[in-house]
């Protein structure tokens, strides 16, 4: 997503976010649950400073398939997980995933309070977020999509408004910001799974969500049978890996270098095809 104020996940009040961050729990993707913050003095290969020895601690918000979600075994997997693993391997550490509320991530509180080293949560780079977060180079170009129950006859946001359809959006996201900017007052849902459940229950007629997430939902026969993609919104967004403001330069450089290298040597394309079934630029 080119820098934009539109797209996925968007501000809890700083004090509330910091308070929430103090009560976060963790679940590991590879090594089990984290017991919480230690100190920011642990070092990895090249001198990168980490909050836990031997681990790159990553804040995310699940489920957000295919970027991060639990597989049948309970392990957290996804596109974001594989991208961060590139940096973790370069540093000679394992990735430890902390599942927390997205508002705490996008406010920067999670990293500021040393709950994690980085955030990989399908997070759009925006000027507002850059006030509190340092971002890596972009690692994913994204756009928004509208998912609706079949038979609405709507093909655009204009149709949603004209037909008086009920619109839903995920709280704290750029998708929410986008439709609000278009004059909508959508019902907000805490995460993507609750947003989808609201659509299935008829609480919303249409929801806005990142296109890759919507396409993943539509791969499931029970969802494809009742719901349809009615439009995409090219909001020019890009995801970035988030770090604490004033981040450790070694850690930031390692992440940037690994993303850049992966795009050059074909590794990025392999990861992309693995999770989206198409090459970069072909998703829509």
pLDDT (tens, 9 = 90+) of the chain, 284 residues, equals 333 333 444 433 333 343 444 343 333 344 333 334 444 457 776 789 999 999 999 999 999 999 999 999 999 999 999 999 999 999 999 999 999 999 999 999 999 999 999 999 999 999 999 999 999 999 999 899 999 999 999 999 999 999 999 999 999 899 999 999 999 999 999 999 999 999 999 999 999 999 999 999 999 999 999 999 999 998 889 999 999 999 999 999 999 999 999 999 999 999 999 999 999 988 86
pLDDT at res. 234: 87
Q: Where are the beta strands (DSSP E) in the chain?
A: 42-43, 49-50, 55-60, 69-70, 76-77, 94-99, 118-119, 133-135, 140-149, 167-170, 187-189, 206-210, 227-239, 242-244
pLDDT at res. 238: 95
For residue 114, the number of C-alpha atoms closer than 13 Å in the C-beta half-sphere is 13
Please name each of the domains of the chain with its CATH number. Answer: 14-140+238-276 (3.40.190.10), 143-236 (3.40.190.10)
Other Cβ atoms within 10 Å of 234 Cβ, number: 13
pLDDT at res. 264: 98
pLDDT at res. 9: 47
- Which residue shows structure tokens 């129950």? 149
pLDDT at res. 170: 94
pLDDT at res. 55: 97
- Which residue shows structure tokens 């900017």? 181
Which DSSP category does 9 fall into? B
pLDDT at res. 251: 97
Cβ–Cβ under 8 Å, residues 154 and 193: no
pLDDT at res. 172: 87
């Amino acid at each position: 997503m080119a820098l934009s104020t539109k797209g996925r996940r968007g501000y809890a009040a700083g004090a509330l976010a910091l308070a929430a961050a103090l009560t976060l729990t963790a679940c590991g993707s590879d090594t089990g649950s984290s017991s919480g913050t230690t100190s920011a003095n642990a070092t990895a290969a090249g001198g990168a400073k980490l909050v836990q020895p031997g681990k790159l601690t990553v804040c995310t918000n699940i489920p957000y398939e295919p970027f991060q979600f639990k597989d049948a075994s309970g392990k957290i997997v996804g596109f974001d997980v594989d991208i961060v693993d590139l940096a973790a391997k370069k540093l000679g550490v394992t990735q430890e995933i902390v599942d927390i509320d997205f508002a705490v991530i996008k406010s920067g509180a999670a990293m500021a309070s040393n709950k994690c080293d980085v955030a990989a949560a399908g997070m759009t780079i925006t000027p507002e977020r850059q006030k509190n977060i340092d971002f890596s180079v972009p690692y994913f170009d994204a756009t928004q999509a509208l998912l609706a129950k079949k038979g609405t006859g709507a093909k655009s946001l204009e149709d949603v408004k004209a037909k008086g359809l009920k619109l839903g959006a995920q709280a704290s996201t750029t998708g929410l910001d986008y439709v609000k900017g278009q004059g909508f007052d959508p019902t907000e849902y805490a995460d993507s799974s609750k947003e989808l459940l609201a659509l299935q229950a008829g609480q919303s007629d249409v929801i806005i969500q990142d296109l890759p997430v919507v396409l993943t939902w539509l791969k499931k026969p029970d969802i494809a049978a009742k719901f349809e993609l009615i439009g995409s919104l090219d909001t020019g967004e890009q995801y970035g890996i988030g770090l604490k403001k004033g981040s450790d330069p070694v850690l930031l450089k390692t992440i940037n270098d690994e993303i850049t290298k992966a795009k050059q040597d074909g590794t990025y394309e392999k990861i992309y095809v693995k999770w989206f079934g198409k090459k970069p630029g072909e998703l829509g």
